[in-house]
Amino acid sequence: MNDVLLNIEDLVVSYTSGNKKVNAVNRMNIVVEKGETVGLVGETGAGKTTTAKAILRLIPNPPGVIEKGKIYFSNENLLSKKESEMRKIRGNKISMIFQDPMTSLNPVITIGEQIAEVIRLHQKVSKAKAGIIACEMLERVGIPKERYDEYPHQFSGGMKQRVVIAIALACNPQLLIADEPTTALDVTIQAQILELMHKLKIDFNTSMIMISHDLGVVAEICDKVAIIYAGQVVEFGTVKDVYKNTAHPYTKGLFAAIPSIKGDRLKRLFYIPGLMPDPTNIPNGCPFSPRCSSKLDICEKCAPKDTYINENHLVRCHLYEEKERELDLCQSY
């Protein structure tokens, strides 16, 4: 199991807006092992979707640029691939499910054809054979194959998301990136889709990156979780480590801010004071320092380094750094 499938190293992605440069992703490190599901959790504008798009090299340029870093997929750096090579990877070895199933399907092509299209693009099969595989895919995601010739508008939101999942899995990808796949759906439908994704992930032996803002969804489906704040991974570890031995003050704040569905009702909810930093004006030092209740003097001065709490549990916070090393680092800045 310990084979690394995807390794993102020190990724920096920036967007130019007017004459300002914004680092949407800043020194991002993520590792996904084979067969594993990694959750990316963060609030709006944290850089979750940008990271996903960078993996597929789908950052619109201009205004976006992958400034530095490496993305190793099966030990090959995706960032040094030619566009023609990338096209063979997208939808084939790595595929993506987008948040909104309403807009990610072509409204004037039948759903069967949309699944067959991706099969024909990546596999040398006849049109008829692609149609047969597409029918099988429909059945696997729980849609009767009789609906092959129907158009997206004839399906409900949950059913459309099933079609999108069928397209994404049609070529048996090694990595599936799901960007908020259930956010637009109701809870009972969300439960259906999550169960389906979990089952298919095991059947197809696919690794998965699950982008979500919902810590509950991540707890259900992920093995590991990366908490993202202002373009950085501030905490990374197994779901158990992060949920039970929460280390980073931001992660702690996120958990405390969710109203509970059991236990005593609180009089007031905990909240993290302040707002996400303006991406054009990220504070010096730790980006969370202006909102942090356990802030140290050093936090405003120099950026924290990754510290391992245990073998698999990593946190980017000064509270966990060894004091002496910290001073050295600060001076070398």
Partner 1 sequence: MPVLLKVEGIKKHFKTPGGTLHAVDGVSFELERGKTIGIVGESGCGKSTLGRAVINLIPATGGKVLFKGKDITAFKGKNLHSLRKDMQMIFQDPFSSLNPRMTVSEIIREPIVEHKIKTGNREIEEEINILMETVGLASRLYHAYPHELDGGRRQRIGIARALALNPDFIVCDEPVSALDVSIQSQILNLMQDLQEEKKIAYMFITHDLSVVRHMSDDIAVMYLGVVVEKCSVDKLFQSQLHPYTKALLSSIPSTDLDFKKSRIILKGEITSPINPGDECRFAARCNYATDKCFKETPVLRDIGGYHYVACHYAENLQKGDSA
Interface residue list for partner 1 (CB under 8 A)? 43-44, 156, 158-159, 186-192, 194-195, 213-217, 219-220, 239-240, 243-244, 253-255, 257-262, 265-266, 268-272, 275-276
At which residue do the structure tokens 């800045």 appear?
333
Q: Rounded distance, CA 249 to CA 285, Å?
A: 15
Structure tokens at 219: 């707890």
Q: Which lies closer to partner 1 via its Cβ, residue 124 or residue 268?
A: 268
Choice between 70 and 252, CB closer to partner 1? 252
Quote the least distance from Cβ 197 to partner 1, whole Å.
13
Cβ 188 to partner 1 shortest distance, Å: 5
Give the chain's length.
333
DSSP letter (8 states) at residue 284 = S
> Measured from the CB of residue 186, what is the shortest distance to partner 1 in angstroms?
4
Query: Looking at beta carbons only, is 10 or 186 nearer to partner 1?
Result: 186
CA distances from 151 to 35, 100, 112, 113 (A): 33, 16, 9, 10
Q: Is the Cβ of residue 108 or residue 261 nearer to partner 1 in the bound state?
A: 261
Q: How far is the CB of 213 from partner 1 (least distance, A)?
A: 7
CA distances from residue 128 to 132, 184, 225 in whole angstroms, order as listed:
6, 34, 41
| Cα–Cα distance measured from residue 101 to residue 306, given in angstroms and rounded to the nearest whole number | 36
Give the Cβ contact number of residue 194 at 10 Å: 17
CB of 285 to partner 1, least distance (A): 20
Q: What is the distance between the alpha carbons of residues 214 and 217, in angstroms, rounded to a whole number?
A: 5
In this complex, which beta carbon is closest to partner 1, that of residue 3 or of residue 278?
Answer: 278
